[in-house]
Structures are given as C-alpha cells and as structure tokens.
C-alpha cells in the first residue's frame, strides 16, 4: 500500500510517502520503499514517479489522499477521489442508516396507502358492475317517437319549474 507515514515534530507534521504492507500500521517505522515526502505547511513535495508507477504495476494500492496528491502533481491521470475522515465517516454511516430507516418507513406507509386505495377502488368498481346489468333490464329503451316529444316540451318544462319551485320550497318548510 502506498500511503502517508507521519514524521516531524508535535504540531509540525510532515509525511513520508512510503510503500508499506497493508497490515502494517502507518506509524510503524518500517517501510518497504520510500517514494516521496510531503510537507503540508510549505506544500513542498518530492516524488519518485518511476518508483510509484513500478509499485502500482506490482499491485500496490494508493490511499485516496496520496492518489489526490499524485493527480495534483501530474504523476497519475484521472479524477481525484473523495476523502472522508474516519470520524466523519462514522457519523455519516449512522446518519445514513437513520435516513434509510426513515425512507423505508415512508415506503411502507405509501405501499399500505396504495393497497387501501386499490382495495377501495376494487370494492367501488365491483358494486356498480353487479348493478349495471340489472339497470338496462328495468328501464326499456325509449322508442324514437318518445325521444322527439320531450325535446319539444323542453321549453315548457323550463318555465313550469319556476312557477312550481315556490310551492315546492314551501311544502318542505311546512312539513
């Protein structure tokens, strides 16, 4: 693994860019190969690009922070990788888990509401479907002569309800 190894005084960090065994701790003094250094205060960087590429061809993985530094310095091509601190990652994992649980709860509520709506719709469509065949049998289709007569009487019917509307309103009030 190619990653930073901290060196330097307290509150004045500097880093080696070292090839380490993945299982070895970053603070351990042992490393397989030293391929560069980096000082974050002065931004001074020394790299051995040939050695870095050679180790990568052998299968060494590059940490995200070192990868971003190598892209910035032009040793590697490609986009930078997102780097997240371990403490932030733990907070984000807990937050993401809570968000997923809330989303699952909302999805369950939506599914339940959809099922209830579908059941209500099925009941509503089933009841009229049963009555629909009975309705045409009860009322026979009007003859062509009968359809023409109500159209002619329509103007008379419009005036008649106006005069009959007042007694109809009075009748329920008296009852």
Q: Does some domain include residue 25?
A: yes
Alpha-carbon dihedral sign for residues 24, 30, 34, 39? positive
Shared-domain flag, residues 102 and 50: no
Rounded to an integer, what distance in angstroms lies between the CA atom of residue 69 and that of residue 54?
A: 17
> Residue 67 is part of a domain; what is its CATH number?
3.30.1320.10
Among 27, 57, 81, residue at a domain's last position: 81
pLDDT of residue 45: 94
**Tokens 């005036």 -> residue:** 159
Q: Does some domain include residue 158?
A: no
Q: Does some domain include residue 132?
A: no
pLDDT of residue 78: 86
Q: Does some domain include residue 167?
A: no
Shared-domain flag, residues 105 and 75: no
Contact 55, 63 (CB under 8 A): no
Shared-domain flag, residues 39 and 56: yes
The tens-digit pLDDT sequence of the chain (175 residues) is 999 999 989 999 999 999 998 888 777 778 899 999 999 999 999 999 999 999 999 999 999 999 999 999 999 888 888 887 777 777 777 788 888 888 888 888 888 888 888 888 777 776 654 555 555 555 556 655 555 555 555 555 455 555 555 555 555 555 5
Shared-domain flag, residues 30 and 71: yes
pLDDT of residue 43: 93
Shared-domain flag, residues 63 and 113: no
Query: pTM for this structure?
Result: 0.48
Q: What is the 3-state secondary structure (H, E, C) of the chain?
A: CEEEEEEEECCEEEEEEEECCCCCCCCCCCCCEEEEEEECCCCEEEECHHHHHHHHHCCCCECHHHHHHHHHHCCCCCCCCCCCCHHHHHHHHHHHHHHHHHHHHHHHHHHHHHHHHHHHHHHHHHHHHHHCCHHHHHCCCCCHHHHHHHHHHHHHHHHHHHHHHHHHHHHHHHC
Shared-domain flag, residues 17 and 76: yes
Give the range of the structural domain holding residue 36, as residue numbers without chain letter.
2-81
Shared-domain flag, residues 6 and 74: yes
Q: Does some domain include residue 159?
A: no
Shared-domain flag, residues 73 and 6: yes
Q: How far is CA 13 from the centre of its chain?
A: 40
Shared-domain flag, residues 73 and 25: yes
Q: Does some domain include residue 149?
A: no
Number of folded domains that form the chain = 2
């Amino acid at each position: 693994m190619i990653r930073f190894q901290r060196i330097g005084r307290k509150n004045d960090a500097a880093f080696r860019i070292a090839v380490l065994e993945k299982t070895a701790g970053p603070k351990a003094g042992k490393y397989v190969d030293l391929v560069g250094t980096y000082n974050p205060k002065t931004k001074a960087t020394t790299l051995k690009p040939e050695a870095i590429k050679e180790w990568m061809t052998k299968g060494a993985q590059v940490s995200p922070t070192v990868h971003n530094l190598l892209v910035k310095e032009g040793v590697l091509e490609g986009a930078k990788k997102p780097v997240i601190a371990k403490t932030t990652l733990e907070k984000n994992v807990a937050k993401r888990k809570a968000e997923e649980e809330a989303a699952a709860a909302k999805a369950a509520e939506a599914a339940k509401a959809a099922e209830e709506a579908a059941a209500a719709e099925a009941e509503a469509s089933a009841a009229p479907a049963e009555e629909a065949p009975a309705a045409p049998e009860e009322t026979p289709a009007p003859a062509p002569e009968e359809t023409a007569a109500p159209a002619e009487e329509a103007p008379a019917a419009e005036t008649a309800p106006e005069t009959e509307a007042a007694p109809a309103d009075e009748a329920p009030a008296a009852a």
